[in-house]
């Protein structure tokens, strides 16, 4: 049988083991900090990226575009402002028209809904999915008397307005064009 040893020997081994584990953890902590400091290149977090075109504050962050909209707030887009300049936009709404209001979104495209909500959600009182007119879904039925954003997937990108309804026809490029416009970027 293995001899256990005296209490002093057991305590000495325990302290040695605790010290060894502590040193390994400290080494990992220091090396991960050093590795992050030296191996992360400029622009990987978006703060050192160059601004794009005339749109101050627009940064390329990986495969997205970021816009600083306030203290410690940044919103992301899939397309740059230059990529959406050619999209026909017949909407006169600005961010002030939505600020502090309830805004409703009609869309079957979850990416479009998320992108619109991610930007406008910072400024509106409430953002909620809804139906344009009557529908069978368990959603509120809204008309153009309400602030309603309607996204329809279509071949041609176009943005137009009827009363308080903004219709975004096309793909996510059209969504970005709408958001850049109301933010005053384009």
pLDDT value at residue 31: 85
Q: Residue 104: is it exposed, middle or buried by C-beta count within 10 angstroms (0-12/13-18/19+)? A: buried
User: Which tens digits make up the pLDDT trace of 80-105?
Assistant: 999 999 998 888 888 899 999 999 99
The correct answer on CATH 3.30.379 for the domain covering 87-182 is yes
User: Which tens digits make up the pLDDT trace of 108-134?
Assistant: 999 999 999 999 998 999 999 999 988
Confidence of residue 176 (pLDDT cuts 50, 70, 90): very high
Q: Are 157 and 170 in contact (CB under 8 A)?
A: yes
Q: Are 136 and 120 in contact (CB under 8 A)?
A: no
Mean pLDDT of 156-166: 94
pLDDT value at residue 42: 45
For residue 44, the 8-state DSSP code is T
170, β-bridge pairs: 153
Query: Which segment of 22-36, 48-62, 104-118 scores lowest on mean pLDDT?
Result: 48-62
């Amino acid at each position: 049988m293995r001899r256990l040893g005296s209490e002093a020997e057991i305590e000495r081994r325990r302290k040695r083991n605790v010290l060894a584990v502590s040193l390994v953890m400290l080494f990992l902590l220091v090396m991960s900090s050093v590795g992050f400091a030296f191996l992360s290149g400029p622009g990987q977090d978006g703060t050192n990226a160059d601004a794009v075109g005339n749109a101050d504050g627009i940064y390329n962050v990986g495969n997205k575009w970021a816009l600083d909209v306030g203290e410690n707030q940044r919103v992301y887009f899939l397309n740059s402002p230059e990529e959406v300049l050619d999209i026909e936009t017949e909407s006169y709404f600005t961010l002030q028209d939505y600020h502090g209001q309830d805004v409703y979104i009609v869309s079957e495209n979850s990416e479009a809904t998320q992108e619109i909500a991610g930007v406008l959600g910072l400024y509106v009182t409430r953002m909620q999915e809804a139906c344009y007119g009557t529908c069978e879904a368990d959603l509120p039925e809204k008309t153009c008397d309400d602030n309603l954003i309607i996204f329809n997937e279509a071949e041609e990108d176009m943005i137009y307005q009827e009363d308080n309804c903004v219709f975004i026809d096309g793909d996510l490029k059209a969504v970005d064009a709408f958001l850049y416009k109301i933010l005053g970027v384009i």
